Structure 1
């Protein structure tokens, strides 16, 4: 969710409701304090979601592709993961040790890199299920760590996609899809048994209807796996798929029952996947959905005692250019002039990605021949590559609530969780309660 994405989403959302667009603000853009975070990994100048998730959830910069481990572990080093000496703790564990309730909400697989950075320790972000592990490996996969791990097993609210990673290939999910795991595990059933053994009253749900009818008086822990893989894009989701804001609402309601407070991590993860596909329309809509979830959270909490921080893992390569008149469709063509080849160009485009189209007879592809209004249109990109890459520039941070002024200025991304811990009086470091 680059700053470019935010600017374009303002226009997208504004135009949706009859405005020119540029003049509006997303819910979190009205927060009183803003900052910029530097997102690079220890071994890479452009971050992936694993090293950046580790930075802003655990407070330590890591190597690209690794989760919850210090930079002493290179990607794919199972022995480095297995030793355990390179594990880093983070906000989820600090909150649990302080007696707070904890939760994760995401629109990606719950085992995907970003949510996994809050509870897992993995030398490779792709080790989501045992099927993904190298042969002979004795390291625990990410789904297993969510159910059996010291931190994962104690998370009270878990909502997202990725049902396949919790079921053996011998089992089928509610939609009839076979599980992805090689072992004989049914980690959904195991999660329920584990939570009961810890004294919780757990409930597994798999669709929007079940989520909305969840009895909060009866249950204090929920596992919601609403899709076999990632949760469908909002623009394509059926009626029985919960929106990010709906998951957010239930999560806050459940976690708020804890008298010691809670830590909740909410991710609009499909902003990222849409950008990778250079599907700008979907990326902007998913960003608008995140803003809606933040708006709902603001209505539910007291910001005199609740800190809300909104930020990104990293940037993407989408640009926003041209000199179009106000009110021009942000997802359409610029309307001032064609390029020097007398061909039109779109206001939004990418530095690289699958939207690249080769020149025809020494001329740039004529975009007027494309159906740019199509939901799955891949916006033009300069360099051909199967999946668009991340960008390396700083990302924005927006904060509101106690100690939110700490988030101003420019700083390393791994500063973020330490500032949150300071404000919330959790973790092993210096806090506002100790000052």
Structure 2
């Protein structure tokens, strides 16, 4: 009888695997041995850069924790017609990987203000700006060759204009639209803003510092709308790709990191190849389906009369679907987890810089702030 149960279990396992998408070559152990050998060989050949970097680029995915990166990787792979997890993001292909701790001075779980000042100033801040100054007007009055732009066309023209040495772009009065809702004729993408910044900054032979933030990853999570968060993260990865194409690791240190995570979970044993926004394999204890993506808290809380609503993939796969959350809040909270940090180049002395970009007083940047994506850059003074 025991043998019969084993046979039934094996048959069940075979059936479950057949429902997923498994490339034929992966069924051969030699495939995985080759993958391991190639990875080891690449690691053996990896050598640190012997000279300090001239340029520094920091990409910060707002709220981009490890689980967000995992789900984004699968989604981007599926959008290219593949099962998903085997397709690396651009940031995954950076040779150095670390984890960063996140917290505020007075909180276990950080907010975006303290983490922003920690990254940009080296100190965690505790303040709110109240001076009511018009910084755009002040900036325009201070700089020669300064230009302010408010749409995609003007941005592209200004970035190619040799007379423009300082450039600021404000493309919406508040937050920019999510990537899936962006007006392609009026609003630049994050990748296009990154390209425009590099066109301008790369004119300086002494080096530059560029800071790029994917600010609306965070907003999608706060709304419990994972589709928005993950498509923003894909565009963030596209911006990293654009910067990698336009710079060289021989003179440019590129860092990809995040300021904090979210209470965003991705689990439930979904079959490989199934939609990242789809259902977990099997039913919950209440006999209802549940999505692979869930939130610990937020506006997605839907318990009514002690029961939660059922869900199907025709609903969960839509761009506006709000994933279920365990605790009712008007806005989902950040998480206290580690965040990933990827480096494209390291010098033999660690993270070292040379030239103007090594001096904090001369830092200048492209910032896509979470409250309003702002393009702000200038050529570094010598």
Give the TM-score range, shorter chain: 0.7 to 0.9
In the TM superposition, 1:26-425 aligns within 5 A as 26-62=89-125, 66=126, 123-124=127-128, 127=129, 133=130, 140-141=131-132, 144=133, 166=134, 187-195=135-143, 200-214=144-158, 215-239=160-184, 240-334=186-280, 336-360=281-305, 362-368=306-312, 371-403=315-347, 406=350, 419=351, 425=358
- 1:324-348 Cα shifts (integer Å, max 9, x gaps): 21101001111x2111111000000
TM-score normalised by L of structure 1:
0.65
Q: CA deviation at 1:376?
A: 1.8
Q: Which position in structure 2 is the counterpart of 1:76?
A: none
> Is the 8 Å Cα contact of residues 15 and 327 (structure 1) preserved in structure 2?
yes
Q: State the alpha-carbon separation in 2 of the partners of residues 325 and 405 from structure 1.
A: 44
- 1:220-277 Cα shifts (integer Å, max 9, x gaps): 1111111111111010011211000000001011011112111010000000011111
> Is the 8 Å Cα contact of residues 102 and 339 (structure 2) preserved in structure 1?
yes
> Is the 8 Å Cα contact of residues 104 and 110 (structure 2) preserved in structure 1?
yes
Q: Which is higher, the Rg of structure 1 or of structure 2?
A: 2
TM-score normalised by L of structure 2:
0.73
Q: State the alpha-carbon separation in 2 of the partners of residues 50 and 223 from structure 1.
A: 22
> Is the 8 Å Cα contact of residues 371 and 377 (structure 1) preserved in structure 2?
yes
5+ long unaligned stretches in structure 2: 1-63, 362-382
> Is the 8 Å Cα contact of residues 102 and 260 (structure 2) preserved in structure 1?
yes
Q: CA deviation at 1:366?
A: 1.6
5+ long unaligned stretches in structure 1: 67-122, 128-132, 134-139, 145-165, 167-186, 407-418, 429-435
Q: State the alpha-carbon separation in 1 of the partners of residues 266 and 359 from structure 2.
A: 40
> Is the 8 Å Cα contact of residues 306 and 402 (structure 1) preserved in structure 2?
no
Q: State the alpha-carbon separation in 2 of the partners of residues 238 and 288 from structure 1.
A: 17
Q: CA deviation at 1:365?
A: 1.8
Q: State the alpha-carbon separation in 2 of the partners of residues 323 and 427 from structure 1.
A: 46
Q: CA deviation at 1:191?
A: 2.6
Q: State the alpha-carbon separation in 2 of the partners of residues 422 and 41 from structure 1.
A: 30
RMSD: 2.0
> Is the 8 Å Cα contact of residues 20 and 327 (structure 1) preserved in structure 2?
yes
* Pair 189,57 (structure 1): closer, same or farther in 2 beyond 3 Å: closer
> Is the 8 Å Cα contact of residues 245 and 296 (structure 1) preserved in structure 2?
yes
Q: CA deviation at 1:25?
A: 1.0
Q: CA deviation at 1:427?
A: 4.7
Q: CA deviation at 1:310?
A: 0.4
> Is the 8 Å Cα contact of residues 95 and 345 (structure 2) preserved in structure 1?
no
| Structure ranking higher on relative contact order (CA contacts 8 Å, 6+ apart) | 2
Secondary structure at the counterpart of residue 243 of structure 2: helix
Q: CA deviation at 1:420?
A: 5.8
